Amino acid sequence: MTLVLRMIAQRLALGLLTLFVVSLLIFGATELLPGDFAEAVLGQAATPETVAAIRRELGLDQPLVLRYVDWLWGAVQFDFGSSLAQRNRAVSDLIATRLGNTLFLALYAAAMAVPLALTLGILAALWRNSLFDRVANSSALSAISFPEFFVAYILIYILAQGGWFPSMARLPAGADLGEKLYRAFLPALTLTLVVTAHMMRMTRAAIINLLASPYIEMARLKGMRPSRVIVHHALPNAIAPIVNVIAINLAYLITGVVVVEVVFVYPGLGQLMVDSVSRRDIPVVQAVALIFAAAYVLLNLTADVISTLSNPRLMHRK
């Protein structure tokens, strides 16, 4: 138990260090964006005096290091300041609803993608080199090759133009679960098609890699059915690589939804980030980017811990 706690503590410390480095990159990258917010707001009325007044009011005249320390301290307390474009709105208020929508979309896609990928991967390994295996691999490679926006527009052309689903996934206030599932189906299906291929191919490869093991050969010699050999003997020992690829793809579902949300006008964090970049609302951009980075790091750390616990040999030094 002590080794497990020590391993988790080490992973958490590494994750916090990674987030600190990422926060430096996020803050520095947003500072390098061209243009000036004060000049953009004032437009033709921008005079040196008015620009200086607005920059002083918003704290933009402070040194870069001081502004970074204030921003990081606020982020630790989940206080990202106020929006520059909407001065009376706190950034946390703008993010709260959008974060829930993004998590809903990610969980919706994961609920479809994970069982589908595991099933296809197991069947492809069970019927290796069969017609089903070839078709599944070809479809997976095709799905990986297409960018998200292309898949989204194909689904819009096929399903939205036929009147089956709405092309714009707007979620009205007070909508029930059924209506949310209906309106968010196309963006969720787009994400499902994109991430299923990676998980399916990793599941297939991990299981096939174990089929040559001595204990699998012994199970076959005992007359066990191929399906039982894979499900009860090969699959439990392939958990580590499968969990890793699932966690990476779940992280992508949360952090990689920007393009999909923009195509379907979905009210999530990705859409908010794009809108904030166009309006140079730097605090919102920084907050959303940091949330994406934290989600990615947390899911990868979780996958690392689960894969280590599933294989006791990784807990001990060689």
CB atoms within 10 A of CB 209: 14
pLDDT computed for residue 43 by the predictor = 60
Angle among Cα 209, 214, 215 to the nearest 5 degrees reads 95
Of 118, 116, 138, 136, nearest to 127 by C-alpha is 136
pLDDT computed for residue 58 by the predictor = 64
What are φ and ψ of residue 90, in 5° steps? -75, 145
60 vs 139, residue with greater confidence = 139
**Residues with Cβ within 8 Å of residue 31, at least 6 apart in sequence:** 64
pLDDT computed for residue 24 by the predictor = 87
Q: Does an H or E element contain 24, and which?
A: helix 2-31
pLDDT computed for residue 131 by the predictor = 87
What pLDDT digit, counting tens, does each position of 258-310 carry? Answer: 888 888 888 888 888 888 877 777 888 888 888 888 888 888 888 777 777 76
Please, what sign has the CA dihedral across residues 278, 284, 286, 292?
Answer: negative
CA atoms within a 13 Å half-sphere pointing along the CA-CB vector of 222: 9
44 vs 7, residue with greater confidence = 7
Distance CA 123, CA 114 (A): 14
pTM equals 0.78
Classify each residue of 106-138 as buried b or exposed e, where b means 16 or more C-beta atoms within 10 Å of its C-beta: bebbbebbbebbbebbbbbbbeeeeeebeebbe
Q: Are 186 and 160 in contact (CB under 8 A)?
A: yes
Distance CA 257, CA 187 (A): 9
Per the prediction, the chain carries an average pLDDT of 78
Partnered with residue 82 across adjacent β-strands are 90
What pLDDT digit, counting tens, does each position of 140-180 carry? Answer: 778 778 887 888 888 888 887 777 888 777 777 777 788 88
- Give 3-state DSSP helix, strand, coil % of the chain, rounded to 5: 80, 0, 20
pLDDT computed for residue 135 by the predictor = 87
1 vs 271, residue with greater confidence = 271
Size (the chain), residues: 318
Partnered with residue 53 across adjacent β-strands are none
**Residues with Cβ within 8 Å of residue 59, at least 6 apart in sequence:** 67, 70
Residue type, 155: L
Report residue 58 CA to chain centroid gap: 32
Percent of the chain past pLDDT 90, that is, above it, reads 0
Q: Which residue's structure tokens are 């174990």?
A: 210
